[in-house]
Structure 1
Amino acid sequence: MSSAPVAPLVVVLTLSAVLLTSGVAKLRDARATQDAFVALRVPSVVPAGPSAAALPWVEIVLAILLLASPAAVAWLPAAAVLLLMLAYTALIARALRFDEPVSCSCFGSIGHHEVGPQTLGRNVLLSVLAALVLWYVLDDGSAPEAFGALGAAGWWALLATAAAVAVALLIAAPASRGSATSPSGADVELLDYERQPIPYGVLTRLNGKSSTLAEIASTQARFLFFLNTHCASCQRIAAQLDGWADRLDPAVGILAVYFDENVAEHAGHRKDLATWEPELNVQRVLGITSNPSAVLLGADGLLAGGPVRGEDNILELVETVFAELEGAEAPIEQ
């Protein structure tokens, strides 16, 4: 392999770029990294707090060592990267067997957070690349030596590869779209909200009674919070529901929506706030793909806010509703 250094260099550079990007993204959103430990149900033998704090630095250091280690010791970071990628792959494969859908900020605040077969495929591919790098360094190869062996043609090949990757990323990157009803949009000002009819969906309470969304909102506006019990940000939202319910009553009612009855039964808030949705029918009709998410149903049969996705956007929407209600209750000065 050392006689043709371009190919192994591309693999080493790819892994290093992934590790560096992942590490920096995790540093920029430390809370999301710790939340990922909860979402993936990392075994308790791995302490979530210290591990989440150390993981970004581990990835960054490994990225640097892959590029800088001489042949004599290059196998150490290569083996560590392979073990790390195999651990990530095992956690994702395990998460795909969970009853509840899983959202994981594996790359901090960037990338897709929903765990699915595509996530597993990505991690398997990264594990294969890590194995190729380990094979290369065990054959007395290293990134510094490969860089030194590059001729003009090799540098042009690397440049062409980097350009092709950049173009592919630019083409594949989704365009930013701002919309009042966008789940990821942070603009939740109710006065500017383009209202739509409440779609058909069914929720079931713990007493067994099922109601459509329109029926639920027929007597008062309803705030629906879509939660997952193995999601740290969902847990933080759930911990505030009782207080929000008291503060919003009687103008707005609150309901927490879970994916099945057993999960709703054991939620950590008032039982009368718990509901569940057969086959995620409400999330599907609202286009909700991850939790936590929230939507406000108006008592007039129209959506009054959201859906919004993510803890920060939910808190912003809740605060907007509080402000609207307090403004409506304030006496008019003469």
Structure 2
Amino acid sequence: MIDWPLMASVGLVAARLLLSITFLVAAGGKLVHPVGGRQTLIDFGVPHLAAGLATALPLVELTIGSALIVGRFAWFGSVGALTLLLLFALAIGANLAVGRAPVCNCFGAIHSAPVGWSTLARNAVLSAAAGFVVWQGQADPGPDLIRWPVEQMTFGRAAFLSVVLGLALAGAQVALLVQILRQQGRILLRLDALDARSAGVNAALQQQGRVEGLPVGSPVPSFRLDGVNGESAALEDLLDGVKPVFLLFTDPGCGPCDALLPEVSRWQQEHSGDMTLALVSEGTAASNQAKMDEHRLRRVLLQQKREVAAAYQVRGTPAAIVIQPNGVIGSAIAMGADAINSLVAQTVSGALHRNSERAAPSAISEPVKV
């Protein structure tokens, strides 16, 4: 015969553990990588609230995750969890309904990926778990997850579990250290190669007098442009003081630009933590909308008469330039797909930042005149 009270108690413990771990991991990831959380909120359509929410959200998640562990606070934690999950589901659904798939840094530095129906399904499972705890009522949210395991455990079991957990933790630390050392070695080799390549190319171009664009380290011209969806963004909105801004100049009638757009979409998704990639295009919103939707591009800004391109001395498309986090020019202009690919690699690796460390502090010049 099924012991329904016991089944309900086990279900409550499992649901609360699942929710608590999820919210605590999400909070920790956002605290380690706050820039990603802020960018997610901007991409989800709340740029004016991004700074405040990016600070408050991990603290709220940390509170909810902790409350779910303690018996007398568990019901309140589940109410908070269900509220956040439903709000998140509405935001995902609204973006998917209009064909947008912003990158979700839900777990900060731990994991990020574009939202999709799988994200919505995961959210539904977590919402069901939170709803189950809420439905059970405030009077019986299940046992206290701190005291209950201790009360059920004998001294021998506790000692054995401590040894097992200690060995597992030590093994995990060793494996993590080995992985970090290997990754650091690969990164250092790649950075050395990129530094040498960057120095050689720039020296050759300087000798030939063919370095185009504003001088590296000079103040960047500010601008404010309308986006394809009608939103307005200024250069200062793109700069966060941490990541460089990668400006890519395109044109809806440019064949090489069209061929590059799938790569641009991948860069925006995979390197959102390393740089802020924005497109400065020409033409009307309608002429850019289809391509933006097809490739799921974000931050597509429209200039009216090439005023921004002229201010940055960009004479053709596709072209790209890097702006350092302190608001100065970080690279010469990269013209064409190959040069832009190389510039992306240097930007992601941090080679450009090291080459311009002696640049002046933040020095954004007067706004571009339209």
The interval holding the TM-score normalised by the smaller chain is 0.5 to 0.7
SS at match of 2:115: coil
CA contact 1:238–1:269 (8 Å) conserved in 2: no
Q: Within the alignment, does 1:126 sit opposite 2:160 as a pair? A: no
CA distance in structure 1 between the aligned counterparts of 2:190 and 2:98, rounded to whole angstroms: 30
CA distance in structure 1 between the aligned counterparts of 2:22 and 2:131, rounded to whole angstroms: 15
Q: Within the alignment, does 1:8 sit opposite 2:12 as a pair? A: yes
Q: C-alpha deviations, 1:252-281, integer Å up to 9, x for none?
A: xxxxx9658x946459942867868xxxxx
**How far apart are residue 48 of structure 1 and its match?**
2.1
CA distance in structure 2 between the aligned counterparts of 1:98 and 1:67, rounded to whole angstroms: 38
Residue equivalent to 1:23: 27
1:278-293 → structure 2 map (5 Å cutoff): none
Q: Which has the larger helix fraction?
A: 2
1:253-292 → structure 2 map (5 Å cutoff): 259=295, 263=300, 265-266=302-303, 269-270=308-309
Q: C-alpha deviations, 1:278-297, integer Å up to 9, x for none?
A: xxxxxxxxxxxxxxxxxx98
In structure 1, the gaps of 5 or more residues are 194-202, 217-222, 242-256, 277-295, 324-334
CA distance in structure 1 between the aligned counterparts of 2:108 and 2:190, rounded to whole angstroms: 18
Q: C-alpha deviations, 1:197-244, integer Å up to 9, x for none?
A: xxxxxx995372423899x9xxxxxx989776xx987995549x9xxx
Residue equivalent to 1:219: none
**How far apart are residue 180 of structure 1 and its match?**
12
Residue equivalent to 2:255: 210
- Percent of pairs identical after alignment? 21
Residue equivalent to 2:365: none
- The higher-RCO structure (CA 8 Å, 6+ apart) is 1
**How far apart are residue 123 of structure 1 and its match?**
1.2
CA distance in structure 2 between the aligned counterparts of 1:143 and 1:108, rounded to whole angstroms: 31
Residue equivalent to 1:95: 95
Residue equivalent to 2:220: none
**How far apart are residue 318 of structure 1 and its match?**
3.9
CA distance in structure 1 between the aligned counterparts of 2:256 and 2:185, rounded to whole angstroms: 27
What amino acid does structure 1 have at the position aligned with 2:38?
Answer: Q
**How far apart are residue 190 of structure 1 and its match?**
2.5
1:146-161 → structure 2 map (5 Å cutoff): 148=148, 151=152
What amino acid does structure 2 have at the position aligned with 1:3?
Answer: L
Q: C-alpha deviations, 1:101-141, integer Å up to 9, x for none?
A: 42121111111322222212111111111111212344623
Alignment match of 2:55 (pick from 50, 53, 56): 53
SS at match of 2:256: strand
Aligned residue pair count: 249
CA contact 2:30–2:36 (8 Å) conserved in 1: yes
CA distance in structure 1 between the aligned counterparts of 2:337 and 2:33, rounded to whole angstroms: 39
Q: TM-score scaled by structure 2?
A: 0.50
CA RMSD, aligned part only? 5.4
SS at match of 2:69: helix
CA contact 2:75–2:141 (8 Å) conserved in 1: no
Q: C-alpha deviations, 1:61-92, integer Å up to 9, x for none?
A: 1111111142xx54322211101111111111
1:134-153 → structure 2 map (5 Å cutoff): 134-138=134-138, 140-144=140-144, 148=148, 151=152
SS at match of 1:93: helix
Distance 1:117 1:274, change over 3 A: farther
Alignment match of 1:316 (pick from 340, 344, 350): 350
Q: Within the alignment, does 1:190 sit opposite 2:194 as a pair? A: yes
Residue equivalent to 1:288: none
CA distance in structure 2 between the aligned counterparts of 1:11 and 1:69, rounded to whole angstroms: 13
What amino acid does structure 1 have at the position aligned with 2:68?
Answer: L
Alignment match of 1:305 (pick from 327, 342, 351): 342
**How far apart are residue 40 of structure 1 and its match?**
0.9
CA distance in structure 1 between the aligned counterparts of 2:145 and 2:337, rounded to whole angstroms: 70
**How far apart are residue 19 of structure 1 and its match?**
0.4
In structure 2, the gaps of 5 or more residues are 173-178, 198-247, 281-290, 319-332, 358-370
Q: TM-score scaled by structure 1?
A: 0.54
Distance 1:27 1:233, change over 3 A: closer
